Amino acid sequence: MSDASGRTAMARPPVAVITLLEVLAGLSVAAGLVGAMLLLVLDQQAGQVSARGIALSVAALLGGVALGCLFWGLAHLIRRQGRATLLQASAARTIEQRPAGEMPMPPPAGGAIGPAGGAPLPSPGLDAPAPPPVSLSVAAGLYTPPAPPVPAADAPRRGAETVEQRLLREILAQLRELNENVLLSAEQRQARRELRLEKLSRRFRERIEAAIEAGDFPAAEKHLEDFREQVPADAHHAPLHARLAEARQAARREDIEAHSRQVVDLMAVSSFDQAERVAQELHARHLEEPAPAELLERVRREAAAFTKERRDRMYRQVERHAESRQWRQALKAAREFVDAFPDGPSADAIRAMLATMEENARIESVRELRDHIRDLIERRRYAEAAETAEEVIRRYPDLRASAELRRQLPRLRELARAPANHGQPRT
């Protein structure tokens, strides 16, 4: 067994002693509790619970708890000291271990350089021991110091770094610094740095390409900025910037073409409001491009032309119905015109004619109903004629035709009640 292994075996915490102390701590607390309860029972059996009995019970309980805490604290101190000693012995054993095929490394002239580039170490001579031999694998930078073993029973809890863990981490950091600054040559350190930069460059390139493929150009731009900051001398900066600019331009062009086709389709079905909204959104996304601005201008121009043509067509329809004395159709067309185009001189002119159109439409309706009543009378369908006359009187009470029908209504009712007309068929 080597010296380091012997030190490690000697440094292991005395588990038996620690366990014994913990058991004694538990027994002390239990004995204090039992003694306190026993004193209370005895005092109660004597006939009355006195203050002296209560004081003795409390003193017994506190004495047991104090003795238990003493044993437990002693066990904790022994365990902590054993862990620290074991950790130091494990680190010493890690440093002393050497793989097979080792080769001694001669110290540089004038003394070796310290691990952190500080004062030179003393040259090997009569007053200082010779440096330990270093294997070829260590000199090539491939040595990785093994982590010191930690007993499973004494493993620290998860989520918090203990003093032992922090000490071990500092020891490992010092070993890495010694490995890089002392054991490696300048060429090896340069090669390792280049390898690390190449791996970092590859990761950045993969992230940028993935962001470009997904169309997330802001993320790709952010990754490219980080790439330039962390690897400033890389030759892939310019190609990646050109690739990002090209992909962004292609996506912009595709977006403009797709929404331009949508706008044209909407204008084809006369949905100019929706087409203008889509064109405005496209123009807002691509302010620097001329095509969206031209498309928006075209939509507005064609929408204005369509509105003017529709206004003129509806106005001519109102005039045509009025000239042919189709007052009800003229009134309907006039109301539709005013609802569609409430402003402008044409709307004002038609709005001024609405009263006349409404009156003429009423007269036209009454005239048609009066002619229908005459037709019913000629066919001796007096009951239907009387019902139609009552409807005209109810709907248009202020017209002259209604007054005439009101005078004729009693005669129509009398004819409808005549026996000769009861069996008159209705055709």
Q: How far apart are CA 373 and CA 381, in angstroms?
A: 9
Q: Which sequence spans correspond to the domains of the chain? A: 1-95+161-183, 184-234, 235-324, 326-421
Q: What is the pLDDT of residue 119?
A: 39
pLDDT for the residue 160? 61
Q: Is the pLDDT of residue 255 over 70?
A: yes
Mapping DSSP to helix (H, G, I), strand (E, B) and coil, where does residue 134 land?
A: strand
Q: How confident is the model at residue 295 (pLDDT cuts 50, 70, 90)?
A: very high
Q: Name the burial class of residue 56, with classes exposed (0-12), middle (13-18) and buried (19+) by CB atoms within 10 angstroms of its CB.
A: middle
Count other Cβ atoms within 10 Å, centred on residue 98.
Answer: 13
Strand partners, 134: 103
pTM: 0.41
As a whole number of angstroms, the distance between CA 39 and CA 16 comes to: 34
Element (H, E) at 135: strand 134-135
Q: Is the pLDDT of residue 338 over 70?
A: yes
Per CATH, which fold does 326-421 belong to?
A: 1.25.40
Complete DSSP assignment for 188-250: HHHHHHHHHHHHHHHHHHHHHHHHHHTT-HHHHHHHHHHHHHHSTT-TTHHHHHHHHHHHHHH
The answer to whether residues 330 and 318 touch, using CB atoms and an 8 Å cutoff, is yes
- Mean pLDDT on 206-219: 89
Q: What is the pLDDT of residues 25-40, one digit of tens each?
A: 888 888 888 888 887 7
- Distance between CA atoms of 223 and 201, rounded to whole angstroms? 11
Is residue 298 scored above 50 in pLDDT? yes
Q: For 127-160, how does the pLDDT look when each residue is reduced to its tens digit (9 = 90+)?
A: 444 444 444 334 334 344 444 454 444 444 445 6
- At 53-84, the pLDDT tens digits run 788 888 888 888 888 898 888 888 888 887 77
